[in-house]
Amino acid sequence: MQKFRLIFILLIMTGCMHAPYSHDQMVDQRNDLLPTKEKIKLLAGSGSQLDEGRLASLAKLYAQDSDLDNAIVSISKAIKLAPLNAAYHDQLARYASLAGKNLLARTESAIADDLGFSDLNHQILELQLALDDGDTTKFLRMMGSMVNDVTPVPMLNYLYGVSYLMGKDTLEAIHRFKECIQKEPDMDKASLALSRIYAGEDSIELALNEVNRMLSRKPKLLNFILLKAELMEQMDATEEAINLYMQHWTLSHRAESLVKVKQIYWNRNEYDSVLKYSRIEAAIVSREKDGLLSEARALDKLRQYQASLKIYTKLYELDTLDSKVGKERTMLERKIAYLQRKKEEEKKLADSLIKTLPALKF
């Protein structure tokens, strides 16, 4: 009798438990045509207190909607309610990795490992984290333990491609990246890697074709805009390159774009434009010194020597140990002194000529 009672209690407890993602599955089944945002509203508004399964489901929907911050918040709440659920820790590690929060991703991935979680996607995540950390030894060791075949999982094929690229097997790397793109045309990592291989082999047309293909699908991919700008510059299409670099700057505010633009104008001896973009760069705190230095050089080329010297002096005072600035400042001071002496000598010569010439009579 006691045995039957125990079974009855266990059955009641089982019936009361919420399986992970069960509510999400219900939402999908009953409202399959609803946009993800509507599903989020439906699930988030289903009760004042969500259990861990629903929180995990909500996190999944947020991630599908590219709202990684809320995905991380939701799955973190689920973990507080069920701290020993390894799948939740793996889920958090994935979202953190996608959000560029690698420290959190590594921590949560390690917890998932300790709790015994292991599947192919988790292995792929570990490989990605090793790659992002620049730990090539760990990455290649882990890749060596994988079954080496063509896999239906595009991300794993991408990682195989990276490992072959590290081993200088470019042909096999190209094959793997093409496999990725064939199965997942929007996979920008594989497309970018393939484009860079082509560019490195001077196959500019192939590189440009792949870059254009991806930009037609995702027009604001920064790495592709930057690579296309570099390719156009190699083809001497400098005006188009400048436009692309400035598009990259507008979207990212990363100074590397300004540096490229400045260099193009410098190579074209257009120092007014160099001056313009140097001043924009100098307004960025982390780039102030580089911007000021190129501004000083541009002013020197424009023969605005005193203005140039003023900036060189400011740079020298910021760092008296900078030998490059010190040397250029000294050379400019000598140039100014030489021009001053030359001017004075020319004036003296003019005065002496006036004295020796007979007075003109009209």
pLDDT in tens, 158-177: 998 999 999 899 999 999 99
For residue 148, the 8-state DSSP code is -
Is the pTM value of this prediction over 0.85? no
Dist. CA 283–CA 272, nearest whole Å? 17
Find the DSSP H helices in 235-322. Answer: 238-252, 255-267, 271-282, 288-301, 305-318
CA distance 98 to 148: 26
Buried b (16+ CB within 10 A) or exposed e, 76-93: bbbbeebeebbbbbbbbb
Q: Return the structure tokens found at 357.
A: 């010439």
Residue 78 zone, left/alpha/beta (φ > 0; ψ -120 to 50; rest): alpha
Phi, psi of 83 (to 5 degrees): -65, -15
pLDDT at position 148: 58
Please report, in angstroms and rounded to a whole number, the separation of the first and last CA atoms in the chain: 142
For position 13, what pLDDT does the model report? 40
Structural domains in the chain plus CATH codes: 253-338 (1.25.40.10)
Nearest-angstrom CA–CA distance, 250 and 220: 11
Instruction: Give the phi and the psi of residue 209 in degrees, each rounded to 5.
Output: -60, -45
pLDDT in tens, the chain (362 residues): 444 443 333 333 434 444 444 444 444 445 566 788 888 887 777 655 778 888 999 999 999 988 999 999 999 999 999 999 999 999 999 999 999 899 999 999 999 999 999 888 898 899 989 888 888 888 888 888 776 554 568 888 899 899 999 989 999 999 999 999 999 999 999 999 999 999 999 999 999 999 999 999 999 999 999 999 999 999 999 999 999 999 999 999 889 999 999 999 999 999 999 999 999 999 987 899 999 999 999 999 999 999 999 999 999 998 888 889 999 999 999 999 998 888 887 777 777 777 776 655 54
Between CA 118 and CA 126, with CA 124 as vertex, the angle to 5 degrees is: 75
Given a contact cutoff of 8 angstroms between Cβ atoms, the answer to whether 247 and 273 are in contact is: no
Residue 183, CA distances (Å) to 3, 85, 143, 312 in order: 54, 32, 21, 55
Tokens representing 163 are 């490992």
- Rounded alpha-carbon distances, angstroms, from residue 269 to 233, 262, 275: 16, 10, 11
| % of the chain beyond a pLDDT of 90 | 57
* Predicted local confidence at residue 39, as pLDDT: 85
pLDDT of residue 358: 61
Evaluate whether 292 touches 311 at the Cβ level (below 8 Å).
yes
- Give residue-wise pLDDT tens across range 303-321: 999 999 999 999 999 888 8
Q: What is the pLDDT of residue 211?
A: 97
Please report, as a single letter, which amino acid is at residue 241. Answer: A
Residue showing tokens 């219900």 = 26
